[in-house]
């Protein structure tokens, strides 16, 4: 069976680039100012008595955690709007694994196939792997993640394996993310295999018939 033509809507265009640029320019300085203000507030707490200082420090810890989460959410959005387009899918996944590993999370890409995919297909596979790794780290929480890209009986398969506990009960935000992955997979004629427990690990896949 021949592969369907991926819809042009899956490609990123000038509008996405403009949104990414505006998002970066508008949020970057404000996020920096917020972080600096929180740091100044922490410095000001040094003169308080122990009891009220403890409560204030706890509240400040929570505020700094939310600021860090906001910064990561902005970086994630920018990454989705301006995904890497240079090189093959394997090159992109190798760079992704290195990026996570440099941040202190062991993410490995096993040797394997380097399929020749159309640009929209490459983007869907890349986003599947990236979101699956993020889900493993956020919701697992996983300590190690492995990525495999291989050919199996005429199907291109991207598989993400982690040592975390898998999706949380009820799904929540995790479930919405999986629905997004499945929708993008259907748009290119691929199949998303949702995370499942297998031999004590969590496994998820994206498969596409190339025949």
* Domain residue extents for the chain: 14-81, 89-209
| Contact by Cβ (8 Å): 154, 209 | yes
CA distance 20 to 134: 21
In this prediction, residue 46 carries a pLDDT of 79
CA–CA–CA angle 83, 88, 93 (5° rounding): 60
Going by CATH, does the domain composed of 89-209 fall within 3.30.565.10?
Answer: yes
pLDDT in tens, 58-77: 888 889 888 888 887 887 77
Q: Of 13-22, 89-98, 111-120, 145-154, where does mean pLDDT reach its minimum?
A: 13-22
User: Global pTM?
Assistant: 0.66
pLDDT in tens, 139-168: 778 899 999 999 999 999 999 999 988 776
Going across the sheet that includes 190-198, the strands are 107-109, 145-152, 155-162, 201-209, 190-198
Residues found in the chain: 211
In this prediction, residue 86 carries a pLDDT of 66
Whether omega before 141 lies within 30 degrees of 0, making that bond cis, reads yes
């Amino acid at each position: 069976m021949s592969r369907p033509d991926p819809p042009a809507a899956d490609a990123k265009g000038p509008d996405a680039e403009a949104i990414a640029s505006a998002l970066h320019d508008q949020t970057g300085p404000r996020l920096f100012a917020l972080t600096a203000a929180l740091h100044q507030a922490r410095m000001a707490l040094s003169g308080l008595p122990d009891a009220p200082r403890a409560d204030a420090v706890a509240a400040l810890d929570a505020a700094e955690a939310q600021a860090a989460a906001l910064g990561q959410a902005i970086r994630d959005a920018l990454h989705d709007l301006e995904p890497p387009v240079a090189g093959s899918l394997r090159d992109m996944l190798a760079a992704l694994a290195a990026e996570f590993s440099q941040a202190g999370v062991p993410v490995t890409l096993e040797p394997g196939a380097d399929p020749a995919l159309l640009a929209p297909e490459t983007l869907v596979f890349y986003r599947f792997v990236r979101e699956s790794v993020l889900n493993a780290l956020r919701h697992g929480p996983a300590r190690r993640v492995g990525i495999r890209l291989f050919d199996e009986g005429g199907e291109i398969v991207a598989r993400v394996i982690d040592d975390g506990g898998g999706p949380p009960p009820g799904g929540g935000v995790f479930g919405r993310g999986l629905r997004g992955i499945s929708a993008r997979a259907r748009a290119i004629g691929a199949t998303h295999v949702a995370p499942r427990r297998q031999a004590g690990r969590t496994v998820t896949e994206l498969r596409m018939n190339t025949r």
